[in-house]
Chain A
Amino acid sequence: AQSVTQPDIHITVSEGASLELRCNYSYGATPYLFWYVQSPGQGLQLLLKYFSGDTLVQGIKGFEAEFKRSQSSFNLRKPSVHWSDAAEYFCAVGASYGGSQGNLIFGKGTKLSVKP
């Protein structure tokens, strides 16, 4: 069964510093991988996704993520964090084929706080 682990529950970074949020997944084949962001009191917004091809994917708001098959990881990065990036971030894994493509599994999330 597929699963997602986000090892860090809460991370605090200073504004302007770089950011890396970790995500490890378990899946038997090549997965579809996603990062979502949830601002307080809001729904979830898709930041970026990986299906195949180039393992470094670019997303919205200056975020990028790198798929590393050998490490079963899909870490999210941003070179310079802004105060408005404070939110909760969720990594998710889905099937790349078949009827279970709708079965998207989420990690428990990493809450990001940004210090002035």
Chain B
Amino acid sequence: EAQVTQNPRYLITVTGKKLTVTCSQNMNHEYMSWYRQDPGLGLRQIYYSMNVEVTDKGDVPEGYKVSRKEKRNFPLILESPSPNQTSLYFCASSLSGDGYTFGSGTRLTVV
């Protein structure tokens, strides 16, 4: 089944403890992206990638890192999480920028 898989689905962590949210797609898509969703703010793009080793900042990149070493994987790294990064995170992929397929989301709580 064609899909975008994120892990974990739920995560509670403490301030400052490095974490990684994984994202994998099995559709051989070129583009991948991370979004965060907050009430009243909609979805805001964190980073996106056009291909292996090619990434660019979205609207809210501060406090996040990404890497694209393989086409199928696009992990999101929070080196030192803070409470304002508590959010619902979505990974997405697209064949050619013509509309993203979204994962099921990761609900992150930073205490």
Residues of A within 8 A of B (CB): 32, 34, 36, 42-46, 49, 51, 90, 94-95, 99-109
Contact = CB atoms under 8 A, between A and B. Distances in A.
The 4 A-B pairs of least Cβ separation, nearest first, read A101-B97, A108-B42, A102-B48, A106-B43
A60 to B, nearest CB: 12
A36 B90 CA distance: 14
B-side interface mostly: strand
A102 to B, nearest CB: 4
Contact of B94 (A36, A51, A99, A102): A102
Interface string B88-99: 001010101111
Contacts of B44: 106
Contacts, number: 66
A106 B104 CA distance: 17
A107 B100 contact: no
B104 A34 contact: no
A90 B102 CA distance: 13
A-side interface mostly: mixed
Given A46-B100, A103-B48, A105-B45, 10 more contacts: A44-B90, A44-B102, A51-B98, A101-B50, A101-B97, A102-B31, A102-B48, A104-B33, A104-B97, A108-B42
Contacts of A90: 42-43
A106 B49 contact: no
9 contacts: A43-B102, A43-B104, A44-B43, A44-B102, A101-B97, A102-B33, A103-B48, A103-B56, A104-B48
B41 interface: yes
B108 to A, nearest CB: 15
Nearest to A99: B50
A46 B98 CA distance: 11
